[in-house]
Structure 1
Amino acid sequence: MLDLTDKRLLAALQRNAHMTAQDLGEHLNLSPSQAGRRRQRLEAEGYVTGYTARLDPMKAGLTVQAFVQVQLATHGPEQAQNFARLVAARPEVISAWTLTGEADYLLRVYCADLRDLNRLIHEVLLPHAVVARVQSQIVMDQVKPDAPLPT
């Protein structure tokens, strides 16, 4: 179970993963060694799954963000694994979910331009043996940036 201090520590790390044990200690009113041990425990227990840098997609040349819904023609473990392998191999797909409802998958993709998005849909997704239908929504503007998880 997480106590209030653990939750505050996780919230602080989501805001700034570069916080040192000294910084965390000051923020949490703990000694640096106590803060460091708590951080290590939360990492070891899998609460913290990794540390990454967030890149600006526009500066990285990725001008098109889209959500792509995919409906499969047939359903079964083999078809799902086959499609999951395709999704995992595509760098444009930054996250993917299985869904209830009409669509089976929702993909979040970043592409350099509309031509690349079109290529992904028409040359990669639609020709795949298990894909029946693809529907895309192009993001016009992101009104709330990706946020930390609530703690």
Structure 2
Amino acid sequence: MRFISLGDLFSDSLTCLERVKRLEKSGVIRGYKAVLDPRALKANLLVFVEISLETQSPAVFDEFRRAVSRLPQIQECHLVSGQFDYILKCRIPEMAAYRQLLGDVVLTLPGVKESKSYVVMEEVKEEFSLYVPDIEELEGK
């Protein structure tokens, strides 16, 4: 949304810009990013991967996190509760590239015991914004 159209919601664009600056300063707005089309970049395949680690020690978690953070094909990595330890979101060109990523990289990461892969057949909803019920409350008003 442009500042002018946001400004219409808040009476004028200066008020809107001031509000955005306050939200940036308070950390509510952490930054701005371009939304890239994965297909245009030949990253057509989306795969979610469950990862189970051999042990649940802080050292193994830290080592795994550091290793995953260096891999550009892994868009997201989340520590979760349940039957496995982490879930990864991977974007790659095609299945052969994923097979190589899994076998040569992911399964060799520190502490990895096993993995389960879920290839996305259809992306039903992908949202980059967050639902904010009351912005006034966030601003402390």
Same fold per TM (> 0.5)? Answer: yes
User: 1:96 corresponds to which residue?
Assistant: 77
Distance in 2 (CA, whole Å) between partners of 1:98 and 1:140 is: 24
Q: Determine helix, strand or coil for the equivalent of 1:126.
A: helix
For residues 40-97 of structure 1, the C-alpha deviation after alignment (integer angstroms, 9 at most, x for no partner) is 0001101111111111111110111000000000111111111001111000111111
Q: How does 1:17-56 map to 2 (within 5 A)?
A: 19-20=2-3, 22-26=4-8, 28-56=9-37
So what's the TM-score if we normalise by structure 1?
A: 0.83
**Worse-matched range after superposition: 47-56 or 119-128:** 119-128
Q: How does 1:2-81 map to 2 (within 5 A)?
A: 16=1, 19-20=2-3, 22-26=4-8, 28-81=9-62
**After the TM superposition, which segments of 4 or more aligned residues of structure 1 sit over 3 Å from their partners?**
none
Residue identity matched to 2:34: A
Aligned residues: 132
Distance in 2 (CA, whole Å) between partners of 1:129 and 1:55 is: 31
Residues 24 and 129 (structure 1), Cα distance of their counterparts in 2 relative to 1, 3 Å cut: closer
Distance in 1 (CA, whole Å) between partners of 2:78 and 2:94 is: 23
So what's the TM-score if we normalise by structure 2?
A: 0.88
Extract unaligned runs of 5+ from structure 2: 133-141
Residues 36 and 129 (structure 1), Cα distance of their counterparts in 2 relative to 1, 3 Å cut: closer
Identity %, equivalent residues: 28
Let me know the Cα RMSD of the aligned residues: 1.2
User: 2:136 corresponds to which residue?
Assistant: none
